[in-house]
């Protein structure tokens, strides 16, 4: 399995800013479980969301026993209409400081051969649900600071596939591009107001989803440890980064420069837009 260097993370400061509750959409296994494990280790309580209530219950009880946290299991299909709003409502009585959008995996499909209903399910999960949940929690974050400031964070688990088109991943690539651009835009709007947003261009990761998807004999040595990816995502959020590209694929040597250029462009637009907003 491919190892990633781990970025520094101040867990006490992280829990103080993004706790006492975090919501993880897509929490039952893989990267969602990795996020849950590390956040629970910081003492952050969890709202665990996925279709599989039994898996959430098992994970929640395990983390409660190990770390003494509270948890809430929310069985919700993220492709269902209004799913994002239902997630916000399920946590309406809690002081949530972090929302993690961690869903949207898809297998290889030929767009013209596939039923178009699968494309619409990806749009619902990666776009509509994200919009409603991020907006709902973001409104709450604005009220958690002092004056015009807020306090909280949003992590959007996008993909390197969102950096450009890929064969047999047309809808996945397109919806992940939406996730990246939405997260970068929200970072530009709210980073200076105390709300952090990061898009993670995730690489190939050794998760249960990948193992169910790839053909027998696939070389998993090129896949990253998902716990390394999620740790670095938390660290990147805390560091105030808008985008994290984990080099992967045939153009990986170019990707650090792409990440730096995209951030420089964002910072430039923040200053440019202040001419119009006076902010």
Catalogue the E-assigned strands of the chain: 21-25, 45-50, 71-75, 96-101, 152-159, 195-202, 243-245
Q: What is the pLDDT of residues 79-110, one digit of tens each?
A: 999 999 999 999 999 999 999 999 867 777 88
Q: What distance in Å separates the CA atoms of residue 21 and residue 170, rounded to the nearest whole number?
A: 35
The domain limits of the chain are 11-21+94-277
Q: What is the pLDDT of residues 118-143, one digit of tens each?
A: 999 999 999 999 999 999 999 999 98
- Which residues on adjacent β-strands are paired with residue 75? 50
The pTM of the full predicted model, rounded to 2 decimals, is 0.95
**Residue 150 pLDDT exceeds 80:** yes
Pairing relation of β-strands 152-159 and 45-50? unpaired
Mean pLDDT of the chain: 93
Q: What is the pLDDT of residues 163-203, one digit of tens each?
A: 999 999 999 999 999 999 999 999 999 999 999 999 999 98
Q: What distance in Å separates the CA atoms of residue 102 and residue 105, rounded to the nearest whole number?
A: 9
CATH architecture of the domain formed by 11-21+94-277? 3-Layer(aba) Sandwich (3.40)
Q: pLDDT value at position 146? A: 77
**Residue 25 pLDDT exceeds 70:** yes
**Residue 279 pLDDT exceeds 70:** no
Sign, CA dihedral 225-231-234-235, equals negative
Mean pLDDT across the stretch 10-28? 97
């Amino acid at each position: 399995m491919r190892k990633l260097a781990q970025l520094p993370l101040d867990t006490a400061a992280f829990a103080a800013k993004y706790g006492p509750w975090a919501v993880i959409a897509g929490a039952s296994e893989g990267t969602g479980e990795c996020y849950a494990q590390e956040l629970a280790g910081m003492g952050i309580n969890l709202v665990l969301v996925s279709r599989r209530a039994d898996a959430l219950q098992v994970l929640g009880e395990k983390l409660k026993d190990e770390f003494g946290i509270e948890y809430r299991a929310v069985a919700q299909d993220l492709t269902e209409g209004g799913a994002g709003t239902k997630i916000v409502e399920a946590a309406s009585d809690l002081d949530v400081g972090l929302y993690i959008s961690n869903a949207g995996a898809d297998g290889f499909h030929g767009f013209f051969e596939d039923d178009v209903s699968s494309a619409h399910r990806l749009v619902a999960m990666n776009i509509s649900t994200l919009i409603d949940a991020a907006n709902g929690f973001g409104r709450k974050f604005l009220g958690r600071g002092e004056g015009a400031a807020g306090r909280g964070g949003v992590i959007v688990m996008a993909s390197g596939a969102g950096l450009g088109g890929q064969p047999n991943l047309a809808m996945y690539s397109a919806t992940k591009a939406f996730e990246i651009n939405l997260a970068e835009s929200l970072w530009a709007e709210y980073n200076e107001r105390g709300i952090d947003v990061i898009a993670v261009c995730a690489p190939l990761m050794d998760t249960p989803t990948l193992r169910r998807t790839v053909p027998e004999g696939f070389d998993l040595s090129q896949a990253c440890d998902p716990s390394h990816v999620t740790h670095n995502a938390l660290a990147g959020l805390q560091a105030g980064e808008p985008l994290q590209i984990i080099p992967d694929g045939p153009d990986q040597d170019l990707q650090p420069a792409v990440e730096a250029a995209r951030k420089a462009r964002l910072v430039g637009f923040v200053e440019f837009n202040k001419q119009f907003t006076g902010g």
